[in-house]
Structure 1
Amino acid sequence: MIFAMLAAASAFLVQSPDKSIEVQLSTDGSHYTVQRGGEEIIAPSPLGITPANAAGYSDLLPVEARRDHIKRMVPLIATKAASTSEDYNSLVVTYREKTSLHRQISIEVRAYNDGIAFRYLLPKGQAYAIKDELTGYRFAYDPVCEVTDYTSSHENTWRAVPVSQLDSAKTLDMPVVCASASGRTHFAITQSNLAGYTGSAFQARPDGFQVHLTPHPGDAGVAVTSADGLSSAWRVVMMADRAGDLISSHLIGNVATQPVGDFSWVKPGKAAWDWWSGPTAGEKPTMERFKRFIDFAAESGFPYFLIDAGWAYGSTPCCNADPKTDITRPEPNIDMPELVRYANERHVGLLLWVHWQHIAPRIDEVLDTYQKWGIKGIKIDFTERDDQEMVKFFHDMAEATARRHLLLDMHGAYTPAGLERTYPNYITQEGVLGAEYNKFSDRITPAHNVRLAYTRMLLGPMDYTPGGFHNGTPETYKTREIMPMTQTTRGQALAMYVVYDSPLQMVSDDPSAYEGQSGFDFIKTVPTAWDETRFLDGTPETFVALARRKGNTWYVGVMTNADGRSVTLPLTFLGKGAYTAKIWQDGADANSVVSTPKTIRSDGSLSLDVKPAGGAVVVLTPK
């Protein structure tokens, strides 16, 4: 009787708690639709998975439907807010084949006020091999989407393209960010919680996107294997009124596995860094050079110094993992215990760079050595894969470092998918076309920097590595490997520390670049983790203005593309009363900022003149 009632339903409906968003799931589990505010966002789109060595699931009948409503406050550690409200309605529909196989598959759907998520569940007690997913995103209109090509390093530029004009021969990276037909809804399509699964990309179609799973290395016919049951990654669609409103969403983290245990020891902050300003192959490691960066970090109040490539015994130039390199020993002229003692005495923690192929075969031995030395964290580089094996390596490293109270920063990494929520010590990562490219190309344009806030940054922390103080504009920029320039002004250099999410934030230039320089006073004091984040104004094609709160103090950051502009920001996000505003704006040339104080009120507005390729920052303190 219950089975007959389920099968007779025209569709399964899940609404967000505020009823603005709804998902319809077909009774046979073959497709779904998404609406927001009564407008269709995703047209009927396919669902399902493709087994690797068996027939696809077919003739499905619903045999069970379970609903739930969850509402709770979730405390957060070292991120863009102190807490988030997790509020959603869920539906899990279990289907069984009418064929003689009688296989079962469940689809779990969650509807939040800021988006939806769904995943596939296969029952325990059986092994599985999955080749791909049938999951798609179809549109009845032709949205213009911000997209970036999928590459193994996940370091590429973004562009706005109508879906119908995308090249179906190329795959696209996470996320794709689009607007609805009316423009009233902006949405980002991505993934979360890859544990036990694999990464994926989007294949473009004239009417939308198709999920394509990353296969096992050397076996294009298998993407995922599991010995006992299977939970797929979550397919996530974030939604908001404006493109910038997506920035403050916690949806990706909310559908991820939540942390277990005490992570109060995770300490966010800024780090001096010894690689960006020097030669690409790395400078010769010496105690004197490392102590110079430690002294700089201590004098500036930074809690960390990241020692990049070249410190380990037998190190070779970038980028292959030489088997003769031993990352449990420093070069002969480096006394690591003395260096740690010197840094600790100055309240600076040391972070070490390693190649992933050097640490993967001996994780416990390496991390135990670093813990014994007194190292505070590690940066792992050149992973450049997102298959199931590499996803497992990321999770293994997050767990192993957390157990030893070490911070983790992954480079050459696939884009974030919620792992930083599960392990808050996984404090930042790359997977972004960042400032390192200033050393050898002109790809880091002002327009690219603005677009990052509306695209890649939606997914989680990004180790863009800001802080370049040899500033310029696209007209004055020159590519150089040592002491590189930027195509953006000093004002934008400062604004990155407010706009870009990274609880471990690099101060990338050489210490000498900051001596007596305007604006460095702001970098020394700006936080890297926040109690609240609010989007103020802008679009991906023009500028971005964000406000972030730490305690009672608000920080505002504005970054523009190659066009200068006057930006007027409402101050309604402030508490009532008067505030002291300290403003840093672009000065007479690209390497200067002008700092001015003024008094403002929350019922007023703030006007900033931002020069081409420029930016501004404001610190607002209650009077």
Structure 2
Amino acid sequence: MNKLVKLMALSLIMYFNTSAKDYIIMSPNKKNMIKISVDKKISWSVFRNNQSLIANSPMSMSLGNGQKLGASPEVLKTEMKKIDRIITAIVPVRNKYIPEVYNEIIMMMKGNYSLEFRAYNDGVAYRFVTAFGKQFIDIKDEEVTFNFSNDCQVYLPKEDNPELQSHYEAEFQPLNLKDISSKTYGYLPLYISSPTGVKMVVTESDLEDYPNLFLFGTGNNILKGKFPKVILKSKIKDNSDRNEEVVEKADYHAKTMGNRTFPWRAIVIGSSDKELLESELVYKLAKPNVLKETAWIKPGKVAWDWWNDNNIYGVNFKSGINTDTYKYYIDFASDYGLEYIILDEGWSRTTTDLMEPNPQLDLQELVRYATRKKVGVILWALWKPLDQNMEGILDQYVKWGIKGVKVDFMARADQYMVNFYKRVAEATARHKLLLDLHGAYKPVGLNRQYPNVVNYEGVKGMEQNKWEASVTPVHNTTLPFTRMVAGPMDFTPGAMLNSNKDEFHINFHSPMSRGTRAHQAAMYVVYDSPLQMLCDNPSNYRAEPIYTRYISRFPTVWDKTIALEGKIGEYVVVARKKGKSWYLGGMTDWTARTFQVPLDFLDKGKYKIEILKDGINVDKHAADYRITVSNVNSGEVLSLDMAAGGGYTAILTLAN
């Protein structure tokens, strides 16, 4: 059957099974279905295996000129598409080759706008498209509603800022929909579990020249969207270099071009939690790569200074933000095959002068030394000073030989900040610099359009162990099913001081993790992170060279990802492939667990398997681990056991 016949057949299926004002589109595997109803309003409903997930949920967009898209709608014509192709990822976060398979309906409406709906095997999405010419339009409001068919469980990253600004570092708290009041809201991505066990993650993609979406409760099964308004005037708070307050804001949330596509409102859908681990819906919905040259983009592992407070020891110099200390980091990175070091806050003379190094640092000598050792240097930068002199600062970094920039403390989600992300992504790409976005909102696909955007924070990560105790194994096994569904996250694993459940204590200068050493090691397989940190003190790593050599072997990008086990807040087990080798990673909450894992995903042959698992005395000493080496064959069953708060990793290489 040729493509034209297939398209006609699909169109016939749609119309013969719908009424005059209803349109139906199904995913290629027939599991996910969207019904679009056109009456006094436009609304959509979402089904999984004929089970209602989202009941009629209206959508509209109110413009500054009084026009309301979606009110009294009239469909002029529709167009159906059936897409089946492969995306080759420039920076493969989960998979190098990503199947892009979906059915789409485009509805051209009276009033110079249209709506696009897509049904994928792993989710659904819609967006507005306008055709008002080249003039600017004000978006006063966009009606985004999710009317869930039942009272579902939600993992809410709760916020309370009245301006809808956020560091995106909240804890995901399990609640029922009906318990979320109209004054309570959270940011995306938002995990939802239906009473029948269908798993959903609500998020957005292709966010350009438009603010982030936040969802408010209603005290029932409905979540409603709101957006931060355009900031007309803001000021830095007294005695701060980064904390802003809004002085004046507009009555609209975007002023934008009349001809454009708007962000995708997306729902990742799976029959189980583990299916969420394989979805790349946000990436698929994003704009394709725009960079002509990408060979210079090199993901990798990073020796990081800030978390361990430069607290190195056993050396003959005073540790701190100085040349000798960072040469020590460079030597460590070189000895263990790490591609980069970061000079975090403190490397510059002041946090607002990003072109003048700290007088204790000979930056050019450090870059020369690092280059000789084949280690790249990445610099930290506050976003606002960078925004004020982006070209000048980036030009200087290139002259110094810097390889990337970690931009920090945006903590905003409005239209201006979204545009800043794109400007800095484009500018760093033009200067052939990697970009790591911290103090950032969640990934929305910018890393596909600009693959030099190698990581995002936007997560309650390891750094918070320096001042609180909430980053637990429960939290760590929640993140893969919530925040990580949107894209890569700079959680910064690698703690060498580890604690069991009741042993943790706060120490800013020598911080520790909650959970076992093997739990930390597993993050290098489980967590998506093309620019992956080794957060701890190089002196601690050097004291345990066998362990450090082991974790330094993990890739940061992958050819293939397979979810093996998963339940939010309890456990996660994944397999990853890079080249001819496979890697296993498992993490558990405070409950010890054992899984029987069939190795049927392996290519045929005998493999050498190097396992790092919790040690026999890990209940007394959380850093206790054991490494074993043996052989296995494809198809064998591997017993994967983890202690309370524990983890498991394995490196499988084809045996000679």
Please classify the TM superposition score into its range, dividing by the shorter chain length.
over 0.9
For the residues of structure 1 that align with 2:153 and 2:605, how far apart are their CA atoms? 42
Asked if residue 332 in structure 1 is aligned to residue 359 in structure 2, the reply is yes
Partner of 1:72: 85
Give a deviation string over 1:355-406, Cα, whole Å, max 9, x none.
0111001111111110111100000110000100000000001111111110
Please say which of residues 81-90 and 297-306 is displaced more in the overlay: 81-90
Partner of 1:593: 625
Q: Name the SS of the counterpart of 1:134 in structure 2.
A: strand
Q: Name the SS of the counterpart of 2:132 in structure 1.
A: coil
Q: Is the 8 A contact 2:310 2:321 kept in 1?
A: no
Select the residue among 76, 92, 103 that pairs with 1:89. 103
Deviation at 1:187, TM superposition (A): 1.4
Amino-acid identity (%): 35
Deviation at 1:228, TM superposition (A): 3.0
For the residues of structure 2 that align with 1:604 and 1:186, how far apart are their CA atoms? 30
Give runs of aligned pairs for residues 417-496 of structure 1, distance below 5 A. Answer: 417-496=444-523
Please say which of residues 170-179 and 401-410 is displaced more in the overlay: 170-179
Select the residue among 22, 25, 36 that pairs with 1:25. 36
Give a deviation string over 1:242-292, Cα, whole Å, max 9, x none.
112112111101111000222222111100011101189xx8521111111
Deviation at 1:25, TM superposition (A): 1.0
Select the residue among 222, 230, 245 that pairs with 2:275. 245
Partner of 1:273: 304
Asked if residue 123 in structure 1 is aligned to residue 153 in structure 2, the reply is no
Instruction: Decide whether aligned partners of structure 1 residues 8 and 458 sit closer, same or farther in structure 2, where only a CA change above 3 A counts.
Output: closer
Deviation at 1:22, TM superposition (A): 1.5
RMSD: 1.9
Partner of 1:563: 591
Partner of 1:10: 21
For the residues of structure 2 that align with 1:519 and 1:220, how far apart are their CA atoms? 54
Instruction: Decide whether aligned partners of structure 1 residues 8 and 515 sit closer, same or farther in structure 2, where only a CA change above 3 A counts.
Output: closer
Please say which of residues 519-528 and 21-30 is displaced more in the overlay: 21-30
For the residues of structure 2 that align with 1:62 and 1:199, how far apart are their CA atoms? 28
Deviation at 1:506, TM superposition (A): 0.6
Please say which of residues 431-440 and 580-589 is displaced more in the overlay: 580-589
For the residues of structure 2 that align with 1:37 and 1:147, how far apart are their CA atoms? 26
Q: Is the 8 A contact 2:310 2:325 kept in 1?
A: no
Q: Is the 8 A contact 1:470 1:486 kept in 2?
A: yes
Q: Is the 8 A contact 1:216 1:389 kept in 2?
A: yes
Q: Name the SS of the counterpart of 2:551 in structure 1.
A: helix
Amino acid at match of 2:205: S
Deviation at 1:8, TM superposition (A): 7.2
Partner of 2:350: 314
Asked if residue 45 in structure 1 is aligned to residue 76 in structure 2, the reply is no
For the residues of structure 2 that align with 1:279 and 1:603, how far apart are their CA atoms? 46
Q: Name the SS of the counterpart of 1:591 in structure 2.
A: coil
Q: Is the 8 A contact 1:577 1:622 kept in 2?
A: yes
Partner of 1:522: 550
Q: Is the 8 A contact 1:15 1:23 kept in 2?
A: yes
Deviation at 1:132, TM superposition (A): 2.1
Amino acid at match of 1:172: G
Deviation at 1:55, TM superposition (A): 4.9
Please say which of residues 195-204 and 597-606 is displaced more in the overlay: 597-606
For the residues of structure 2 that align with 1:480 and 1:333, how far apart are their CA atoms? 26
Q: Could you tell me the TM-score, scaled by structure 2's length? A: 0.89
For the residues of structure 1 that align with 2:257 and 2:634, how far apart are their CA atoms? 58
Q: Is the 8 A contact 1:41 1:180 kept in 2?
A: yes
Please say which of residues 445-454 and 512-521 is displaced more in the overlay: 512-521
For the residues of structure 2 that align with 1:374 and 1:328, how far apart are their CA atoms? 13
For the residues of structure 2 that align with 1:594 and 1:472, how far apart are their CA atoms? 17
Deviation at 1:124, TM superposition (A): 3.2
Select the residue among 201, 210, 214 that pairs with 1:201. 214
Q: Is the 8 A contact 1:490 1:519 kept in 2?
A: no
Q: Is the 8 A contact 1:143 1:162 kept in 2?
A: yes
Q: Is the 8 A contact 1:474 1:488 kept in 2?
A: yes
Task: After the TM superposition, list the runs of 4 or more consecutive aligned residues in structure 1 that deviate by more than 6 angstroms.
Answer: 5-8
Partner of 2:149: 140
Partner of 1:287: 323
For the residues of structure 2 that align with 1:608 and 1:68, how far apart are their CA atoms? 44
Select the residue among 580, 591, 597 that pairs with 1:552. 580
Asked if residue 59 in structure 1 is aligned to residue 72 in structure 2, the reply is yes
Please say which of residues 35-44 and 449-458 is displaced more in the overlay: 35-44
Q: Name the SS of the counterpart of 1:26 in structure 2.
A: strand
Q: Is the 8 A contact 1:73 1:86 kept in 2?
A: yes
Partner of 1:583: 611
For the residues of structure 2 that align with 1:337 and 1:116, how far apart are their CA atoms? 50
For the residues of structure 2 that align with 1:301 and 1:329, how far apart are their CA atoms? 30
For the residues of structure 1 that align with 2:180 and 2:150, how far apart are their CA atoms? 14
Give a deviation string over 1:218-256, Cα, whole Å, max 9, x none.
325211111332422100111122112112111101111
For the residues of structure 2 that align with 1:188 and 1:203, how far apart are their CA atoms? 15
Amino acid at match of 1:17: P
Give a deviation string over 1:70-93, Cα, whole Å, max 9, x none.
221111122211110111111111
Q: Name the SS of the counterpart of 2:480 in structure 1.
A: helix
Q: Is the 8 A contact 2:516 2:622 kept in 1?
A: yes
Partner of 1:298: 334
Amino acid at match of 2:454: I
Partner of 2:653: 621
Give a deviation string over 1:142-196, Cα, whole Å, max 9, x none.
111222113610101112222112233111111121233422x311110001112
Q: Name the SS of the counterpart of 1:441 in structure 2.
A: coil
For the residues of structure 2 that align with 1:95 and 1:492, how far apart are their CA atoms? 53
- Give ranges in structure 1 of 5+ residues lacking alignment: 97-102, 316-324
Q: Name the SS of the counterpart of 1:519 in structure 2.
A: helix
Q: Name the SS of the counterpart of 1:436 in structure 2.
A: helix
For the residues of structure 1 that align with 2:58 and 2:250, how far apart are their CA atoms? 22
Partner of 2:238: none
Deviation at 1:515, TM superposition (A): 2.0
- Give ranges in structure 2 of 5+ residues lacking alignment: 1-14, 160-164, 232-247, 312-318
Q: Is the 8 A contact 2:25 2:33 kept in 1?
A: yes
Q: Is the 8 A contact 1:253 1:421 kept in 2?
A: yes
Q: Is the 8 A contact 1:16 1:88 kept in 2?
A: yes
Q: Name the SS of the counterpart of 1:127 in structure 2.
A: strand
Q: Name the SS of the counterpart of 1:514 in structure 2.
A: helix
Q: Is the 8 A contact 2:280 2:485 kept in 1?
A: no
Give a deviation string over 1:398-438, Cα, whole Å, max 9, x none.
11111111000011101111111111110001100000001
Partner of 1:163: 177
For the residues of structure 2 that align with 1:112 and 1:272, how far apart are their CA atoms? 39
Partner of 2:259: 229
Q: Is the 8 A contact 2:112 2:132 kept in 1?
A: no
Partner of 2:236: none
Amino acid at match of 2:60: G
Amino acid at match of 1:495: A
Partner of 1:105: 113
Deviation at 1:598, TM superposition (A): 2.4
For the residues of structure 1 that align with 2:639 and 2:141, how far apart are their CA atoms? 51
Deviation at 1:110, TM superposition (A): 1.1
Q: Is the 8 A contact 2:476 2:569 kept in 1?
A: no
Q: Is the 8 A contact 1:196 1:231 kept in 2?
A: no
Deviation at 1:599, TM superposition (A): 2.3
Give a deviation string over 1:320-350, Cα, whole Å, max 9, x none.
xxxxx42112123322222111000000000
